[in-house]
Amino acid sequence: MKIKLKRISLVISTVVALSACDSASSDAKRVDIAPTEPEAIVDKAKTDISAIPDNLIAKAESAPVAKSVVSSASKYVKGKHYIEISPAMQTDAVEGKVEVVELMWLGCPHCYSLEPTMNRYKENHPKYVEFKQVPAMLNPGWAKDGETYYIAEILDSNGEKELITKVFQAIHEQKRRLNRPSAAKRFFVEQGFTAEQVDNVKSSMAFKAKVRRAQEISAGSQAQSVPTVIINGKYRTSPYMAGSEKNLMEIIDMLAKKERK
């Protein structure tokens, strides 16, 4: 009986999800539920287990919505936990990839706190995701930190020196201000680079292109705070909107899967 009740609970959850999600009518067909039936089935099932046929239970258990929709789409609400960006932004992802962008600021304590979580995501995200960090250019001060970010990225192109991490640590743990050109140059010289190397990076086309693209993404995202995560140029969320870092990663995963389709 316990097994039966567990299976019934799954069916009820699936039916509720089907009636709530935007694609209810198409998903309903996969489990042989007409769009007009869910409420009646749920109401009757609460008092009469036999109201749900065995074949419906079997199909509901195997339906994709049984796990993905119930656990994600019915839990997170557009307009509350994430926002649809209008107009949608153009992405830089290659064809077949879903772009996930973390818009961040080196001076932001919340971005620094989120960094370990985003680093884990960077190492373990699905193969269909193309992830990158972009320094926010929402004001002149942040733009200077963004330049420091891109100097570090270009100087340490393969990430062996973990230069961006060291910049983060210098700002938040050593309380250094690296948004002045002279201070940033001094820091990179301390890391084993020459002043000439720093100057060459700042005058390079690659550096200028990265800064320009960061400005475009900052404006197009319509973000007013950081950290903000942008999914495929269409959706924007944040740890604050999501409610926690765990919820944030679930929302990113949910929306990335949606965009993959």
Predicted structure pTM score: 0.73
Domain boundaries, the chain: 2-73, 83-260
Q: Three-state SS across the chain?
A: CHHHHHHHHHHHHHHHHHHHCCCHHHHHHHCCCCCCCHHHHHHHHCCCHHHCCHHHHHHHHHCHHHCHHHHHHCCCCECCCEEECCCCCCCCCCCCCEEEEEEECCCCHHHHHHHHHHHHHHHHCCCCEEEEEEECCCCHHHHHHHHHHHHHHHHCCCCCCCHHHHHHHHHHCCCCCCCCHHHHHHHHHHCCCCHHHHHHHHCCHHHHHHHHHHHHHHHHCCCCCCCEEEECCCEEECHHHHCCHHHHHHHHHHHHHHHHC
Q: pLDDT by residue (tens digit) across 203-244?
A: 999 999 999 999 999 999 999 999 999 999 999 999 999 999
Q: Choose which CATH entry (3.40.190.10, 3.30.2350.10, 2.40.50.100, 3.40.30.10) describes domain 83-260.
A: 3.40.30.10
Q: pLDDT by residue (tens digit) across 164-199?
A: 999 999 999 999 999 999 999 999 999 999 999 999
pLDDT of residue 261: 81
Q: pLDDT by residue (tens digit) across 195-211?
A: 999 999 999 999 999 99
Tell me the C-alpha distance between 247 and 238, whole Å: 9
Tell me the C-alpha distance between 30 and 59, whole Å: 8
pLDDT of residue 17: 44
